[in-house]
Structure 1
Amino acid sequence: MRIRPARVGETALLNDLVMRSKAYWGYDEEFLAACRDELTIDAGDVTAGRVVVAEDGHGVRGVASLQGCAPEGELGLLFVDPEAIGTGVGRALYRHVLAMARELGFTRLRIEADPNAAPFYRATGARPAGTAPSGSVPGRALPVLEVALPVARGGWLDAWTGGRRAAHLGNVAEFQAQWGDPSEEARRAGSHYACLAAFASPDPAVLVLPRPVPRAWVELNAAQLAWDRVVVYDGLDDRAGLVAAVLARPALATHLRDSGLALLPWGRTRAFGRLTGEDLPSAALRYESKRAAHEVFVRLAPAHPRIAVPAQWPVPNRWAAARSVRARARRGHATIVKTEHGAGGSGTWLVDGHRVRLPRGPLLLEEVVLAGTPRDVTYDGVIGPGGEVHDVGVAVMDVKGTAYRGATVGPGVVPDPLAETASRFGHAVGGEIGATGYRGWFDVDFVTGGDGRLAPTEINLRLTGPSAAFMIKARLDRIRGGDHVVRTVDQVPLGARLPDDELIALLRRLCRRCAENGTVLVPTIPTAAYEPAPYLGVALAAHAIDGLDAAEALVRDAALDVGRMFSPPDGSAAPRRSSR
């Protein structure tokens, strides 16, 4: 199927399609006759260039139009051949009109919908905005919906992708291995987490992943996010790392280099530099170190009065750490213990009197900030090719103890004063990072103090969980309109171990149930559904944060309920399923 401008010579064909589509809802001839003049497309409409059609091998399958003058306009028509209803033609036309409106400078579209079509528009992101009298049938009221088309802020996306589709490389474990060989447990967890690399940009063309992933998972995400065809290379994991595995396959490496796509790794490594032919400067990853990050925080903080850097000091080993921690505990102080490197809370412990087994060291000790609300905040940015810093946004992270579990991004999530403070300081940190030669995605994590100031805690020179939320938001804002709130939940426990077919069936049911409530579900991590403690990762999007709360509760309950399928009627424990 392709979408193209309508032609003057096909107005009769289009008008016939419109009336057949209107009749699909069971209206009688008298009603259709009353609507005919209002729904007729004439040559002038087509000449204005705002009428488009969808066609395939069977001919024209749908028609849509845009009316009005920027900044506010109206979806004039959207009709689909009855034989093509339910095949995606309507969604494709709707998204095309939104894109056309955005390019022409529209910031809001009004939709006067047939009552039968209103659920379609609500499911694609439009919001109810009252009623209006019918222009054809006296006494009849039509539902009115609106869709906002916010003006894009900043050029972070072009700086990140170069304005191109991208190949995404999920080299999570390879990135972490630069600071020591990860344990088998950490490697396994990293290979699951690498699925988030599918969302390394809003519009992937190629995915390179360490574990085999269900093709139906990719297809489901393509449907939810209107991706074009995505090519998947998976199951490439080996002890040397994901990009090293690509380099060991010369044909694949050459294909990626010559594809014309932006090559986006989860994190930059020496191996990735060999793939792209661009050396990684020796100091580029300096601020991935928590010690070096603290030094730059201390240096920049005096120019930012709403920033309070927590005290940090090194100790040579875990015995020295234990002595310091006990001494502070006697004075009523808890302590954060950190290794110099670590992601997602790994290598970080909150020690408040409970027994904790620490690594040998050396270690960093840090004072605990008395937390305010929201507690954990992160700023994300992109350092462009010339070293310029582009602000992406500020998010709230879900952190339990010191373990990262997900993030929420979007309007109203972070109070404006906190967001402004985080952005100013994060932008300044980005300038320091760019001076090392680093280029790409980065973030700065904060804890909100009880006095309302922000305490910066670490820098990440790579993609992270919040980055996936920002990418999904950017895509949904584009294809659905509006200003979405997006939440990622990295581990939703499952009530049973699910093979791929059963997992995909569950995800499809959840996508439908969420859509009925005006929420978009994007499954992010499918590969852990057959672990001994099975789980899945999801992202949820809506136009208001309370919609996310309800959708998350629905997903969590339904995920746990799958265990009932394997429970015997007497309530005794179900036998463990055999492995695949």
Structure 2
Amino acid sequence: MVKVRAARPAEAEALTGLVMRSKAHWGYDAAFLAACAAELRIRPDEVTARRIVVAEDPEGAVLGLASLEGGAPQATLGLLFVEPSAIGQGVGRILYRDVLRRAVQQGVRRLVIDSDPHAAGFYRAMGAVAAPTASAPPAGLPGALVRFEAAPAPLADWARAWTGGGRAVHVGNVAEFNAQFGDSSLDAEQSAAHHYSCLAAFYSPYPSVLVLPRAVPAGWTELVCRQLGWTGVEVYDGLVERGPGLVEAVRARPALAARLTGAGEPLVPWGLTRPFGLLAGRPWRAGELRYESKAAAHGLFGRILAEGGHPGIVLPAQVRAAGRWAAARLLAARARAGESTVLKSEHGVGGSGTTVVTAGQVRAAGGARALLRRLPRGPLLVEEFVDGPADPGAARDLTYDGFVDPAGRVHEVGAALMDVTAGAYRGATVGPGAVPDRAEKPLLAFGAAVGRELAASGYRGWFDVDFVVDAEGRLAPTETNLRLTGPSIAFMVAARLDALRGSGHLVRIADRVELGARLPEAQLDELCADLARGCAELGAVFVPAIPTGAFDPAPWLGVLVAARSLETLDAAEELVRSEAAAVGAMFDAFEPADRPPDPARRAGERP
């Protein structure tokens, strides 16, 4: 493992030699190198003043060096050079991240980098942003330096509060959380939930341990750790292939349970359950989760609005129907009035159990009863459909994320734009500019009010409030989720990347990116590595989020992409989707022309 330490004055001559070898690696001629020598020389009395550090291997061989020069609020990355034999092995990445970390500690908020043109791709991939001007080369010398800037940032306040600023044990108990509600709209086998348990990698900005029901590819965890700068992450996977009993499987292994609970690190689950309470030594209070019910959440929203103070918020009307026949009667009455309707199960997740029915669909089917087979059994909620903005490109589905800490304090995380189609969640985008300015203030105010009510009810943990935007631009709250979700994962990754690469990241989670073919594990690793390189060339970051879907009969991936502009983010997502879809092209020549079509693919679910 490469280690970073402070350079010593006695190493100045040897470090100068490393710098010149690294510069020569790019093919500059002797005259150019001779002209650069004075500028690149490191003198013993400069080593401490320029805050030079070195990266060394386990045998103590120096592989590279970097300097952080100047003081807050603006500093300079004066040197970053890697021994030619070590280029491409991640040494430069380690040194660059160390410079950003030290800059944060010293209060630096703007880091200037004058890059050799051959290294410009590296700094772009590391998250530095090209500056408007480039520095001129010395007279008579080839190649202008390329100027970049970075904005060193500490870990967000909410992220430090979430896990106390340290690492955490992540428990992927998605199926276990879903199963406790017994909702008829959910898959009894919880197969989708086991895929979504892979998101346990991102339950906080920096895990120490991942606990997963299904086995995951080793190459996946290695790439995720490299992209997010994690080291020393332990993975315990393959504990449960079917059913919801992940935590019970952990408790049945005393040594593993002791490892997870004995390190003094917080245990972070997808959501609270009785088995998790036993594992974590946390009193189980089933009543904490009552607002996971869509009907209970609707009542909570109504009580908050009755108190006033939220003029930009409207509440859709909602009626509980005892079963499908009662729901059909209510649906028929609304259809006769020309109104669309949202039918919801009590605890459906990710759009499961949620159906939008228009008056035209009722007429085309010959009446509401003909649509009964589309509805889950059991109690149903019949809700007014909220017409959205006339502009199809306008923001429609938004969410607020926050959490209640063990002391009952509410922490605001932020707002996100969700991708929802026909009631099914497909992904979300977080970061600067993701949510329209006029919607953000009322959304944050109402989300905080919900958080205070949840805290008063005894709930402790992550929560969100989902909204739709009506035709007049007002926000209509639709449900709460007392657990982690896809948007929360995007917030975690954004916080990590901001601390790792500088502030200002937009992060998009796309729950389902279709693959053109099923791949062996080695080829899946190769595809993900190619996508990481391709996104880096765009100035974006690619992180595979859900790898196990790639082995389904209709293969898919869950992915995260990050960038500093919506344009780059869109380009990165398009690259990922097109490359993933093209995976099967190589097999077309070997398959019969009359082969059966691919199985129908359902939309991704938000657990």
Paired position in structure 2 for 1:367:
384
Task: Please name the residue that 1:548 is paired with.
Answer: 569
Label 1:128 to 1:571 Cα distance change in 2 as closer, same or farther (>3 A). Answer: farther
Residue in structure 1 matched with residue 410 of structure 2 by the alignment: 389
- Judge conservation of contact 1:566–1:574 (CA < 8 Å) in 2: no
SS in 2 for 1:160: helix
Contact 1:38 1:135 (C-alpha < 8 Å) held by counterparts: no
Q: How does 1:227-266 map to 2 (within 5 A)?
A: 227-237=230-240, 238-266=242-270
Whole-angstrom CA distance in 2 between matches of 1:44 and 1:92: 25
1:560 match = 581
Structure 1 residues 256-405: aligned runs within 5 Å: 256-301=260-305, 302-353=308-359, 354=361, 355=371, 357-372=374-389, 373-405=394-426
| SS of structure 2 residue aligned to 1:180 | coil
Corresponding residue number in structure 2 for 1:23: 24
- 1:176 is matched with 178
Deviation at 1:45, TM superposition (A): 2.8
Report how far residue 148 of structure 1 moved.
Answer: 1.9
**Contact 1:567–1:573 at 8 Å: present in 2 too?**
no
2:129, 2:355 → 1: CA distance? Answer: 44
Structure 2 residues without counterparts, runs of 5 or longer: 362-370, 599-607
Counterpart amino acid of residue 70 in structure 2: G
Where 1:462 maps in the other structure, the secondary structure is: coil
Alignment correspondent of 2:69: 67
Q: 1:281·1:436 contact (CA, 8 Å) conserved in 2?
A: no
For 2:107 and 2:510, the matched residues in 1 are separated by 35
Does the CA-based 8 Å contact 2:173-2:244 persist in structure 1? no
- Percent identical among aligned pairs is 56
Q: Under a length normalisation based on structure 1, what TM-score does the superposition of the two structures give?
A: 0.95
2:220 to 217, 222, 236: 217
Partner of 2:196: 193
Distance in 2, matches of 1:543 and 1:203, equals: 21
Task: Show the counterpart of 2:208.
Answer: 205
1:517-542 CA-to-partner distances (Å, cap 9, x unmatched) read: 22211101111112121111111111
Q: TM-score, normalised by structure 2?
A: 0.91
SS at match of 2:550: coil
The structure 2 residue matched to 1:85, chosen from 87, 90, 102, is: 87
- The offset of 1:138, in angstroms, is 5.8
The answer on whether the counterparts of 1:108 and 1:149 sit within 8 Å (CA) in structure 2 is yes
Aligned to 2:47: 46
Distance 1:492 1:146 in 2: 33
Cα distance in 1 for residues equivalent to 2:142 and 2:580: 47
Q: Once the 2 structures are TM-superposed, how far is the Cα of residue 417 of structure 1 from its aligned partner? A: 2.0
Q: Aligned equivalents of 2:460 and 2:40: distance in 1?
A: 53
Give the aligned partner of residue 406 of structure 1.
427
TM-aligned CA deviation for residue 225 of structure 1: 1.1
CA contact (8 A) 1:125 1:482 kept: no
How many Å apart are 1:569 and its aligned residue? Answer: 5.6
Decide whether aligned partners of structure 1 residues 160 and 152 sit closer, same or farther in structure 2, where only a CA change above 3 A counts: closer
- Give the Cα–Cα distance (whole angstroms) in 2 for the partners of residues 471 and 528 of structure 1: 22
Please state how far the C-alpha of 1:571 moved relative to its aligned partner: 6.3
Contact kept in structure 2, 1:107 and 1:151, CA below 8 Å? no
The residue number in structure 2 matching 1:452 is: 473
Q: Measured at CA, do residues 482 and 136 of structure 1 come closer, stay the same or move farther in structure 2, by a change above 3 Å?
A: farther
Stretches of structure 1 that go unaligned for 5 or more consecutive residues are none
CA separation of 1:274 and 1:179: change in aligned 2, threshold 3 A: same
Between the two proteins, the alignment pairs up a number of residues equal to: 576
RMSD, aligned CA: 1.9
Q: Which amino acid aligns with 1:262?
A: P
Q: 2:490 aligns with which of 469, 478, 483?
A: 469
CA contact (8 A) 1:34 1:136 kept: no
Rounded to whole Å, the distance in 2 between the matches of 1:388 and 1:381 is 10
